[in-house]
Every structure is written in structure tokens, then in C-alpha cells.
A and B are shown apart, each in its own frame.
Chain A
């Protein structure tokens, strides 16, 4: 309730002449809104300058590339919002999930997905306990978990590619109403659900307040450890689901499949406008960040630029987003 009234007062424009512009320019929403605007401008620019940019095939390519990364980014946003920076075990969790997906696909898709989700929840829970209860550094602890998970996955699979024995086409290539890929429907459902949970539940408000000031939150009697543990559990699960999406597309499990997921999710979260210092930003911002990066990557790709250039551009975009975020934060102060 408090958060809502606060929002109402800050959203009240000082100059009522153009409330829309005022709302757009609000310092804590400026970056998130700007990214949405730039995404739309990029799409328009692509449509105007690149042949077949908005053809069904290319739009599908963008949508497929955004789904898994977007789900991971929404999961990552829980960690960043809680003030624990990043979870660097998402790629490893997703990679091992592809192996679990491929080895258990003969049980049928629902059972396989359930197993993958359970795996992600356990890995996330473990990190939640280590960070939330034992107070370990989140970055280093999640790097440690990443190598444990990767090492275990490599020992189990022998580093080989595992081909799934079963039908994953509903998730891999299936579409909803013959139009939107099921992967994208899943991504949107997860993003909206996460948005509602964070904006409307006690857990969400606690998460945001812990991110703003963990010691004040603890003194005020918020359930800090419990909330952090749940946040890590959610993020681990999101990473595992992203892995399931990769595996269903490739119809196989391989430890290389999750490769750049950590970086992509971090990039989406930071570009989308979730503040690194915690407490600021929304789940939908991360989802839009992922969409923005997917559009940028797609444009670089269809313009014929190499994978290396895309990686370097992503790195620079993250650095730029960090600088922009800090500068906007500075203006507000």
C-alpha cells in the first residue's frame, strides 16, 4: 500500500501541461521507458531499411531468440532487484537442464518439464541458502555453484551430446493458434506472472525493500532470508526452463547449449533499466531489455556482422547501460 501511494504522488506531474511526457521523463523510469521507445524505433528503422525485416520468418527468428533469454532475464531480475547483483550460474543450470531434458524426454514432455523445473528449483534453493542464510557473496557463490553444476553435468554426460528419445515439438516448434510460438506464449506468461508477483504480493514488496536497504529491511522485521531464498529459487527455476527451451529447439542436450545465457540475461536486465544497486525496476523491464537485445542482434545478423561483433556490441551496450543508469541516478540525487 505504501509503495502504491508513493508511486501515485511521484507520478503526479509538476507541470500538468503534458502529463505523458512527464511520466516518460520520471528519473526512475526514464531508462526503462527510453529502451522501449528505442526498441520501437529500431523496429521501424529495420522495417524501412532492411528487406523482409518484418517478414514472418524474421519476426519468428526474433521471437524464438527472445523467449529463452527473456525467461532467464526475468529470473535474473529477481536477483538484481533484491540487491544481490547477478546470478552467474544461469548458463550452467540451463546447460545441465538441456541434458536432463534430453535424457528424460522418453517420459513425455510434461514429466520432463517437471523434472527440469525441480532441478532448477533445487539448484536455485541451494544458492538461496548460501547467499540468503550464510550471507556469502552472491557473485562468487553463484560462480562456485556454476562450476559444481557444470562439473557434475560433464561427469554425468561425459561431455557428449545426448539426443532426446521423444517428442518435444510442442515446445520446440509448436505455435499457439497457428501464429505465436508456444515458447513466446510461455515467456509472456512467465513475465506477466512475475510482474504481478513483484508488484502485488507481500513477497514482491519485501524483495524490493530488501534491495533498497537490506539492513533497514532486516531491522524493520521483513523476512530477509526467506525472501532472498525464494528469489534465488525462482531465478534457478527460470534458468532451467530456459534450458528446456534450448533443448526442445535443438532436440538434444549438450553442455554448450547454455553458453552465453548469463551474459545475455545480465545484459537484458541492465539494459531494460533494472537498477544494479537493487530495489528499482520492474520485471517487465527485463523482458523488454531482452526484446531490445534480440532486435539489436537480429539487425546485426541480417546486416551480415559476425557473432564476435555481436558479443562485443552486447558488452559495450551493458557498459553503456551501467553508465547511463549511474548518471540518471546521479541526476536524481
Chain B
């Protein structure tokens, strides 16, 4: 009985991934009908480049969401990290990147420490972090765009590999693989899911709440910092406005990818599909001639739709639908016995 139940659960999880992958294919199909030549080598490369930035940020943010928290500071972290990298990366961009990522790790630790010490919602703590970081970004850059004349590092990062990949997007894929292993094979990963599911029960059962909060916030801030460094090197410029709409897109992509704001649900594979869905949508709208404001408007609509679907009312409706289906399933299975 249990084994059959497990099988059903697993099939359900697989089905939700399949639905998401199907949605991605449908969106790709719609855009390739609307704007011919949408799927060509160059555009797929462009999609991968979007994935390199948005994917890394979303991956970190989604981990905090799986743990039942939320890191609002990812966007401003991208901006600060880009500025730190270009300011300190005069001699070598590797040094600049390491400094930025190190700074990110510290900010992540601070976020985790304040959230778990005070037991207030991390939404509140990270609003404070977000404000402080955007102040810091203006401070570092003096409100100006900072640029570098080191174009070799950017060329290295963005040089096409096998036509559609680049060092930057491959790094993002590597980050996804690492987080997949963390979630699937380690105790820390199980702690993170448990922390987001039922926190009191998880703590009583021996899940290490403090450690899982530290892991998710450090990875979230660290990956955002890395993404910010890499995009700044690739653009050879950084500004306080760099990550302005990134948090919005990352939250949308994570929820589209099957991560719930209430925590405990979702994983890197779904998030990756979610990022590609959102990246395709934005890329497709731009290909059809939409300007930045229209894309922002569309991203807002997408986020509004997914947050309503994530909400109490929609969850109750889905639950009722699932119960109904399970009852039908049982009714169909009963005569066989």
C-alpha cells in the first residue's frame, strides 16, 4: 500500500514537472509562430545568456522560498556585487569577483542570523538589507555608472561554446547541478525542505533550523553576488540600477517553476524550467518589438497571476479538485478488489 502511494506521489511530482516543461514548449511554439526565425542559434544563445543572470539569482531566491523564507535583497545584491567587482577588480577580475562573493556570503549570514535570532519574517529583515544595500550601491558608485577597460574577461565569459553556451551560462548550469545534489543527497538539503514544511515539527524531529537558514541565505546572497559580478564583467559596466527588476522576475520564475511562497515545495529542476519560461516570454516580447516598459508591465501581470495561483483561494480550489480526483480514482479502483 505504502509503495503504491509513494509511486503515485512520485508520479504526481513528475507530472507537475511535465506540465511545466509542456508550458515552456507551448510558449516557445507560440513565439516561433508569432515571430518567424525566433528559434535560431543566436536567439537560443541569447536565452542562455539571460538564463545565466536570472537563473543564478532565481536559484538562490528559490532556496530561501523552499525553506519558508524570502530574500528580498537579491536584486540590490546584484547591483552592489557588480560595483564591488569593477571597483576592486582593477588588477584581476577574479579578485574582484572573490571580494563580491565574499561580501555576499557575509550579507547572507547576517540575514540568516537576524531572521533566526529574532524569529521575525525574513521579508522584514531583507527589506532592511535591501534598503541598506541600495544605499551602499549609490555610495560605492557615487550614483554613477562604473566602467572598466578590461574587456578580455568579459569576452572570455561570453565567448560562445558549442554555439549556444558560454562560460557564464555553463557556470549557472553548474550552480543548478550543485544545488540539485545538495537538495537530493545531503542532510542539509533535507533540513531545508523540513524547515519550510512545518517548522515546529521539523525542529522537534531534529532538523537543524539555524543551519538550514544559514545555508539558504548564504547561497542566495552568494549566488546573487556571483551573478552580479559576472554580468558587470560581461557588460564592462555596473550601476546601482543593475538589478532593478531582477527580484520581480526571479520571484515569478521561482513560483512558475513550482516553488511555493509557503515553503517546503519545489526543486532546482522546476526552477530551471521556470526561469526558461520567463526568459522566453521576455525574449519573445522583445523580439516582437515590445519596449522595456511593456516587458515590465507583462512581468507584473505574470507575477500577479502566479501569486494569485499560489494564494489561499487558489490552493483551496486545487485541493478540492485533487480530492475529487482521488475519490474518483478510489471509486474506479474499488470494484477491482
Contact = CB atoms under 8 A, between A and B. Distances in A.
A144 B248 contact: yes
B308 interface: yes
A140 B252 CA distance: 9
Given A319-B125, A323-B114, A147 B311 contact: no
Nearest to A137: B261
Interface in A52-101: 85-86
B121 interface: yes
Nearest to B139: A308
B128 A140 contact: no
B195 to A, nearest CB: 18
A136 B251 contact: no
B248 A147 contact: yes
**Most chain B beta-carbon contacts within 10 A, residue among A137, A143, A155, A270:** A137
A316 B298 contact: no
Given A148-B297, A151-B297, A319-B125, 5 more contacts: A135-B312, A137-B307, A139-B72, A151-B296, A308-B143
B131 A151 contact: no
Contact of B135 (A133, A139, A315): A315
Contacts of A250: none
**What size tier do the contact residues of chain A reach?**
35 or more
Contacts of A85: 121, 123-124
B292 to A, nearest CB: 8
A268 interface: no
Interface string A315-331: 11011001100110000
B303 A140 contact: yes
B332 interface: no
Interface in A275-323: 276-277, 306-316, 318-319, 322-323
A327 B119 CA distance: 10
Contact of B301 (A139, A148, A316): A148
11 contacts: A86-B127, A130-B308, A133-B313, A136-B312, A140-B251, A149-B300, A151-B294, A311-B139, A312-B136, A319-B128, A322-B124
A42 B61 CA distance: 40
Given A145-B304, A319-B114, A322-B125, A139 B70 contact: yes
A277 B297 contact: no
B303 A147 contact: yes
A57 to B, nearest CB: 26
**Most chain B beta-carbon contacts within 10 A, residue among A139, A154, A310:** A139
Contacts of A313: 135
B212 interface: no
B303 A308 contact: no
Given A140-B303, A312-B132, A147 B297 contact: yes
Contacts of B119: 326
Contact of A277 (B114, B120, B136): B120
A108 B245 CA distance: 36
A38 interface: no
Given A146-B300, A148-B297, A151-B296, A311 B131 contact: yes
B236 interface: no
A310 B131 CA distance: 11
Contacts of B296: 147, 150-151, 154
A285 to B, nearest CB: 17
Interface string B115-147: 000111101110111011111101100110000
A93 B299 CA distance: 17
Main secondary structure of the interface of A (DSSP, over half): helix
B318 interface: no
Given A144-B248, A144-B303, A308-B139, A315 B312 contact: no
A151 B132 contact: no
B186 interface: no
B135 to A, nearest CB: 3
B120 A326 contact: yes
Interface residues of B, number: 50
B3 interface: no
A182 B3 CA distance: 72
Contacts of A316: 132
B2 interface: no
B128 A151 contact: no
A96 to B, nearest CB: 12
A141 interface: yes
Contact of B132 (A135, A143, A147, A315): A315
A134 interface: yes
A137 B132 contact: no
A19 interface: no
B297 to A, nearest CB: 3
Contacts of B120: 276-277, 322, 326
Contacts of A314: 131, 135
B312 to A, nearest CB: 3
A144 B128 contact: no
Interface string B268-303: 000000000000000000000001111111111101
Given A308-B139, A318-B131, A134 B123 contact: no
A309 B293 contact: no
A316 B269 CA distance: 37
A115 B181 CA distance: 55
Nearest to A149: B300
Nearest to B303: A144
Contact of A155 (B114, B125, B255, B293): B293
B300 A309 contact: no
Contacts of B203: none
A263 interface: yes
Contact of A323 (B118, B127, B138, B295): B118
